[in-house]
């Protein structure tokens, strides 16, 4: 080798050595002591989480060497490659996904200008190529040393959350603290999974709450996983630990389209599309006042009984989630007679409306199972805005242009009948079981209004007459509001055939910049 060649070789070796040294520094994050502290809390590190989430060997990192640019408070003396967030792309069961994972071992995962820039870069790329974004949040908040530059970084992320909304699915996993302005990025994503006892979300923490309002509250009570999956509906699932959250995210990802242009994913299934389910013929109790579990209907209709329920602990009077028919994703909305008799109220309306809008944005067909006695009465509902909140669900169904198949299993009363994907809201195929009752209200209430002043015996006679006349699906069917009264055992077959028919459905709403949903 010539001396010149030797020099080039030496330089290459030195550069490779430097690269490996910097890469090792990036991989160590805040150092072994902080990694051990993370493990002691029962939490994985940022990189360990990505190893569980993504297919083995698929992660390709970007910006591993990025450092902060802060010049105040002695920060130039403390620079760590990667600056507190690991970003890049990988695959989940072979499908592309972009990811960022905040590293609590580096400055407590605090967001700096450069940290935010890294997140924005992968979100921009995801938007360009049409692939989902999964964010693993574990951050102490804004990096105080950077002041307004850190806040600007947050706002840059927020803007991309908005730009990506309805274009690519966005999933947030809250795996540690997420407080102050940081909460608004996950809040604008499509779904949020939290980890019990180690993650929390709130705008102002317990100390500030105590100072301002004198309320004494723990972090968990104020913004923990249980609080947000039961009371507030901010989060969709509360997971036991990091591993469960990451494995559920992998399972959930399989239901999601890559983008609003890609169509729903499909997986092989051995479950026959025309499978009959005789047990459904005897599911509805003889007494109209007796409940049954709508989960049973859903699981007996979808492929292999797989139903990924979302927000199972909030507003249990309505069920939402994903299943598959003939291997293709469908969104499912269903009244749940076991909870509040399946009535619609403020919480259930909001829960279902957002889900319907997600499905519509990503061209996911919607299957609706209806057993609804009406809207929940009472001053609490009225004074808290049931009119406006109920209208959200109505609006969501009415504007949706995806295939919509509705099955009325039992009650469909009053305005709630209209709201639940009725024919009048452009339902494509509206089926009813023979047990369906489609009417303005129940027989007893109707008779009390129509035939005021009758004796108890006379009212009983009129109630029986009303039930015989209206407590069935045939009046609605005679008007074309129900397309067919079907055998319960053939529900899966009917839905599968309907989805085949509707695969090339084309329907557009009038041109508008955007609608003005009653928020």
Residue 210 resides in a domain: yes
Is the separation of the CB atoms in 62 and 93 below 8 Å? no
Kindly give the interhelix angle for 294-301 and 491-501, rounded to the nearest 10 degrees.
60
CA distance 353 to 295: 19
CA distance 461 to 155: 66
Pairing of strands 133-137, 170-174: parallel
Residue 193 pLDDT = 98
- Looking at the fold, whether 328 and 210 belong to one and the same domain comes out as no
Of residues 180, 223, 323, 442, which has the active-site annotation? Answer: 180
- Looking at the fold, whether 192 and 299 belong to one and the same domain comes out as no
The token pair that represents 436 in the structure block: 């369906």
Longest dimension (CA), the chain: 115
Single pTM value for the model: 0.94
Pairing of strands 437-439, 177-179: unpaired
Ranges of beta strands (E only) in 284-401 are 308-310, 318-325, 328-335, 366-372
CB atoms within 10 A of CB 206: 18
Residue 516 resides in a domain: no
- Looking at the fold, whether 464 and 329 belong to one and the same domain comes out as no
321 is annotated as an active-site residue: no
For every residue of 240-296, DSSP letters joined together read SSHHHHHHHHHHHHTTS-SSTTS---B----S-TT---GGGGG-S-SSTT----HHH
Helices and strands (H, E) in the chain, number of each type: 19, 17
- Looking at the fold, whether 46 and 56 belong to one and the same domain comes out as yes
- Looking at the fold, whether 70 and 94 belong to one and the same domain comes out as yes
390 is annotated as an active-site residue: no
Residue 465 pLDDT = 80
CA distance 444 to 133: 52
CA distance 176 to 225: 10
- Looking at the fold, whether 72 and 185 belong to one and the same domain comes out as yes
Of residues 166, 181, 263, 316, which has the active-site annotation? Answer: 181
Task: Assign residue 104 the CATH number of its domain.
Answer: 3.90.226.10
Residue 55 resides in a domain: yes
Q: What is the pLDDT of residues 103-126, one digit of tens each?
A: 988 877 888 888 999 999 999 999
- Looking at the fold, whether 465 and 495 belong to one and the same domain comes out as no
- Looking at the fold, whether 350 and 448 belong to one and the same domain comes out as no
Residue 242 resides in a domain: yes
Residue 506 resides in a domain: no
Which 3 state secondary structure label does DSSP give 132? coil
- Mean pLDDT of successive 10-residue segments in the chain (519 residues)? 60 78 71 86 94 97 78 67 89 98 85 90 98 94 76 93 98 93 93 96 89 92 95 97 98 98 96 97 92 98 98 98 98 97 96 98 98 94 95 98 98 94 97 93 80 80 80 89 97 98 96 94
95 burial level (CB within 10 Å; 0-12, 13-18, 19+): middle
Q: What is the H or E stretch that residue 22 is in?
A: helix 3-28
Q: Please, which residues have CB within 8 angstroms of residue 44's CB and are 6 or more apart in sequence?
A: 38, 52, 175, 242, 243
- Looking at the fold, whether 204 and 286 belong to one and the same domain comes out as no
Residue 72 pLDDT = 64
The token pair that represents 70 in the structure block: 């802060």
Distance of CA 166 to the CA centre of its chain: 13
Of residues 416, 421, 439, 446, which has the active-site annotation? Answer: 416
**Structural domain count of the chain:** 3
- Looking at the fold, whether 478 and 467 belong to one and the same domain comes out as no
Residue 74 resides in a domain: yes
- Looking at the fold, whether 283 and 344 belong to one and the same domain comes out as yes
Residue 496 pLDDT = 98
Q: Check the CA dihedral 498-503-508-512 and report its sign.
A: positive
- Looking at the fold, whether 373 and 465 belong to one and the same domain comes out as no
Distance of CA 335 to the CA centre of its chain: 18
Is the separation of the CB atoms in 181 and 143 below 8 Å? no
5 is annotated as an active-site residue: no
Residue 61 resides in a domain: yes
Residue 9 pLDDT = 64
Residue 334 resides in a domain: yes
CA distance 399 to 510: 10
Residue 329 Cα distances to 173, 258, 322, 456, angstroms: 22, 12, 7, 52
415 is annotated as an active-site residue: yes
Which domain range does residue 466 map to?
A: 443-471
Residue 316 Cα distances to 223, 333, 340, angstroms: 20, 12, 8
């Amino acid at each position: 080798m010539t001396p010149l060649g030797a020099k080039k070789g030496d330089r290459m070796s030195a550069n490779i050595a430097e690269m490996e040294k910097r890469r090792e520094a990036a991989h160590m994050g805040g150092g072994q002591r902080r990694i051990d502290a993370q493990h002691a809390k029962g939490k994985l590190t940022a990189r360990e989480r990505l190893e569980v989430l993504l297919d083995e060997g698929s992660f390709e990192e970007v910006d591993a060497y990025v450092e902060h640019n802060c010049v105040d408070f002695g920060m130039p003396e403390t620079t760590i490659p990667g600056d507190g967030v690991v970003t890049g792309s990988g695959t989940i069961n072979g499908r592309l996904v972009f990811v960022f994972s905040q590293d609590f071992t580096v400055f407590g995962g605090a967001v700096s200008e450069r940290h935010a820039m890294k997140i924005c870069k992968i979100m921009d790329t995801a938007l360009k190529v049409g692939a989902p974004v999964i964010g693993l949040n574990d951050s102490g908040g804004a990096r105080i040393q950077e002041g307004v530059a850190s806040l600007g970084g947050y706002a840059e992320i927020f803007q991309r959350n908005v730009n990506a909304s309805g274009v690519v699915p966005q999933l947030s996993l809250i795996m540690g603290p997420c407080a102050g302005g940081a909460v608004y990025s996950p809040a604008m994503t499509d779904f949020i999974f939290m980890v019990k006892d180690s993650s929390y979300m709130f705008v102002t923490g317990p100390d500030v709450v105590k100072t301002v309002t004198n309320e004494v509250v723990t972090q968990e009570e104020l913004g923990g996983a249980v609080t947000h999956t039961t009371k507030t509906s901010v989060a969709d699932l509360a997971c036991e630990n990091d591993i469960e959250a990451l494995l559920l995210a992998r399972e959930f990802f399989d239901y999601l389209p890559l983008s609003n242009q890609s169509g729903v994913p499909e997986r092989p299934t051995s479950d026959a599309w025309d499978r009959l389910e005789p047990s459904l013929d005897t599911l509805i109790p003889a007494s109209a006042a007796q409940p049954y579990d709508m989960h049973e209907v859903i699981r007996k209709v979808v492929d292999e009984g797989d139903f990924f329920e979302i927000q199972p602990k909030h507003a249990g009077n309505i069920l939402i989630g994903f299943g598959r028919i003939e291997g293709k994703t469908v969104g499912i909305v269903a009244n749940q007679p076991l909870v509040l008799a399946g009535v619609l109220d403020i919480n259930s309306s909001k829960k279902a409306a957002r889900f319907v809008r997600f499905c519509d944005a990503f061209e996911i067909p919607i299957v609706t199972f209806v057993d609804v006695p009406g809207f929940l009465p009472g001053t609490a509902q009225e004074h808290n805005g049931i009119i406006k909140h109920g209208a959200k669900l109505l609006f969501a169904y009415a504007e949706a242009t995806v295939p919509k198949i509705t099955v009325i299993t039992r009650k469909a009363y009053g305005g709630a009948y209209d709201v639940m994907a009725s024919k009048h809201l452009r339902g494509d195929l509206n089926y009813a079981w023979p047990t369906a009752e489609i009417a303005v209200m129940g027989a007893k209430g109707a008779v009390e209004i129509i035939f005021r002043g009758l004796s108890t015996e006379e009212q009983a006679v009129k109630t029986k007459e009303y039930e015989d006349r209206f407590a069935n699906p045939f009046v609605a069917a005679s008007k074309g509001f129900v397309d067919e009264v079907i055998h319960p055992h053939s529900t899966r077959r009917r839905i599968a055939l309907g989805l085949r028919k509707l695969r090339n459905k084309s329907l557009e709403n009038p041109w508008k910049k955007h609608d003005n949903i009653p928020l």
